[in-house]
Amino acid sequence: MTKTLVRPLAILFVFLLFPLLAAAAEPNYPALTGRIVDNSNLLNAEAFSRIEQKLRAHEEKTSDQVVVATLPSLQGYPIEEFANGLFRAWKLGDKAKNNGVLFIVAPNERKVRIEVGYGLEGALTDALSKVIITTAVAPKFKNGDFAGGIEGGVDAILSILAGDAEEWQRRAQIRSDESSWVETAAVIFVMIMVFILIVSFMRELGRSSGGARRHRTRDGRWIVLPPSGGSGWSGGSSSGGWGSGWGGGSSSGGFSGGGGSSGGGGASGDW
């Protein structure tokens, strides 16, 4: 009877324990207390108030919900995973429009990310998000100006969402062109290295097989003899090794999200 009960009880125990383990594995997300959740204390009172007013005015005008979060720790998670989970936990943006944006800064890990809601991915693209980080945010962070970097990032995000994206699109195009040159150079470098390796291999192969030998006849003519023990140079052979080797070329309380979600759109960076 005891043995009969052990297995069902064990299965029941696993089913009861699994949700607890899953919950324990989830990051400990901070509470959404306002349009700015500055848990790392990167903003002084003046900068906090100024940025919060910009975020509030934009939301009242467009309903786009942009939130800034500074965190003392990502708790061992990649910033992409943490940001997406935090965005979903806070439900930023309108439920029907999914028009939320999360600007997250983790100073101890030196990571930053712009997480974009589904509904704004067409305006605030991954490329534009990356350009904002690399040109408006990271340079100031490198100099220790966190308030300036955060405000610069917020200004760029709001400008793009308001439809004034021409300058940022130009920067994104320049960055894309630069990336294309880097990729082309990398491909050329790999091709050169492969060519060198093939040449080195063929030379080593020739040495190991003894190589071709030249012999002078009595009448003064030179003839080429095949490598010792091989017939690769003999006439009519279809297995010439050389031929095959070369083949082919935090603010006021009461603030909350509106039910929005994100699918991981946006960009990350560091400094």
Q: Using an 8 Å Cβ cutoff, are 52 and 36 in contact?
A: yes
What pLDDT was estimated at residue 239?
40
* Residue closest to 134 by CA, chosen among 37, 240, 26, 270: 270
Q: Residue 94 has which token pair?
A: 């309108």
What pLDDT was estimated at residue 145?
98
What pLDDT was estimated at residue 195?
80
Report yes or no on 54 lying in a domain.
Answer: yes
Report yes or no on 171 lying in a domain.
Answer: no
What pLDDT was estimated at residue 11?
54
Tokens 């003899």 belong to residue: 225
Question: Residue 93 carries which DSSP code?
Answer: S
pTM over the 0.75 mark: no
Interatomic CA distance for residues 70 and 103, integer angstroms: 8
Interatomic CA distance for residues 56 and 252, integer angstroms: 11
Q: Using an 8 Å Cβ cutoff, are 146 and 43 in contact?
A: yes
What pLDDT was estimated at residue 2?
54
What pLDDT was estimated at residue 183?
62
Strand ranges in the chain using DSSP code E only, listed in sequence order: 36-38, 65-70, 100-106, 111-116, 213-216, 222-225, 265-270
Question: Residue 258 carries which DSSP code?
Answer: B
In three-state secondary structure terms, 129 is helix
Q: What is the pLDDT along the chain (271 residues), one digit of tens a residue?
A: 555 555 555 555 545 554 444 444 689 999 999 999 999 999 999 999 999 999 999 999 999 999 999 999 999 999 999 999 999 999 999 999 999 999 999 999 999 999 999 999 999 999 999 999 999 999 999 999 999 999 999 999 999 999 876 766 665 565 554 555 556 667 777 888 888 888 777 777 766 655 555 555 556 665 555 555 444 444 444 444 433 333 333 555 578 898 999 999 999 999 9
Interatomic CA distance for residues 97 and 119, integer angstroms: 6
Report yes or no on 43 lying in a domain.
Answer: yes
Domain with 40 in it: 25-165+254-270
Interatomic CA distance for residues 33 and 37, integer angstroms: 6
Interatomic CA distance for residues 106 and 111, integer angstroms: 5
Q: What is the CATH number of the domain that holds 36?
A: 3.10.310.50
Total domains in the chain come to 1
Interatomic CA distance for residues 43 and 151, integer angstroms: 10
Report yes or no on 236 lying in a domain.
Answer: no
What pLDDT was estimated at residue 169?
63
Report yes or no on 11 lying in a domain.
Answer: no
In sequence order, what are the residues at sequence separation of 6 or more whose Cβ sits closer than 8 angstroms to the Cβ of residue 210? 227, 228, 229, 230
**Helix and strand element counts for the chain (H, E):** 8, 7
What pLDDT was estimated at residue 66?
98
What pLDDT was estimated at residue 20?
47
